[in-house]
Structure 1
Amino acid sequence: MGTWNTGPYDNDDAAELLEDIREGHIYFDELLPDVGHRYIEADQGAMIIAMAHLAAGDVPAGIDDTVLAPLRTPQTRERLRQCLEAVLSDGAVSELAEQWAENGQEELLEWKAKSHIQLV
């Protein structure tokens, strides 16, 4: 995964997700893992972070807000909240957390701060 900064859309996987949304080729349910105890790979973690931000209203230019309705149902928001919590937890659960931890504590904390968003 190519990453150029710590923001929720600053990586290749999130950029690809946004492009798919712009083109109308997206099925959000297929991208979200089931909630539970399992390891979340980096690409899936990056998409979870991006979808959480989209669901919370952090929408980049060029995205039609109406196509994001499936992300904003109470059930999906709760599922996203739990998945986001897992992605941001630690390297035992999240490959992204593991990768950012390897960059040092300062970058890990910056990534977590920019990736976290309220979904209640």
Structure 2
Amino acid sequence: MGTWDMGPFDNDGAGDLLAALRAGCFDIDDYCRHFDEEYLDADDAQAAIALAEVVAVARGLRPAPPQLDGIDAAAYTESLSPEQRGWILTTLRRAVAGSDTSELHELWAENGPEDLEAWRAPILRRVESLRDLS
């Protein structure tokens, strides 16, 4: 049984990403290679949203939540190449673009338009705030 909620760190995909970052074993290049070019499964979309939030915290766009305890968001973000940062933003956009590109979008859409919009709105704001990421 999976766990998921509206917050960027309130799901299994984000939890797995944060655990790997905390352990120092997250390799973004390996991670990027396993993504489907056309469709993000729910866990991958959740992780992409969480990764963008880590970058947002590092840039001072939001305060560090308790889920980031033990993670140096600034150091991690500094280690990313422009291509990797661009990939994060592109993948974040795909996660919320529509049900044809994201299983997570599809799952939220099944809950109705109010829930879908409540989930998408903060992520779309994050996309806008990170538009100069690459």
Q: What does 1:12-31 correspond to in 2, within 5 Å?
A: 12-31=12-31
Shift of residue 52 of structure 1?
1.1
**Paired position in structure 2 for 1:38:** 38
With structure 1 as the length reference, what TM-score do the two structures score?
0.84
Matches of 2:27 and 2:37 in 1, distance apart? 23
* CA drift at 1:81: 1.3
What is the percentage of aligned positions where both structures have the same residue? 33
Cα deviation code 1:44-83 (max 9, x no counterpart): 1111111111122254232123233334x32222221111
**For the structure 1 residues 36 and 43, does the alpha-carbon distance in structure 2 shift closer, same or farther, using more than 3 Å as the test?**
closer
Q: What stretches of structure 2 of length at least 5 have no aligned partner?
A: none
Superposition TM-score, scaled by structure 2 size: 0.76
**Contact between 1:91 and 1:97, CA under 8 Å: does it hold in 2?**
yes
| 2:76 counterpart of 1:70 | no
- In 1, Cα distance between equivalents of 2:120 and 2:79: 25
Two-structure CA RMSD over aligned residues (Å) = 2.2
Which sections of structure 1, spanning at least 5 residues, go unmatched? none
The answer for the alignment partner of 2:69 in structure 1 is 61
1:2 maps to: 3
Q: Which amino acid aligns with 2:24?
A: G
- Answer yes or no: is the 8 Å Cα contact 2:52–2:88 preserved in 1: yes
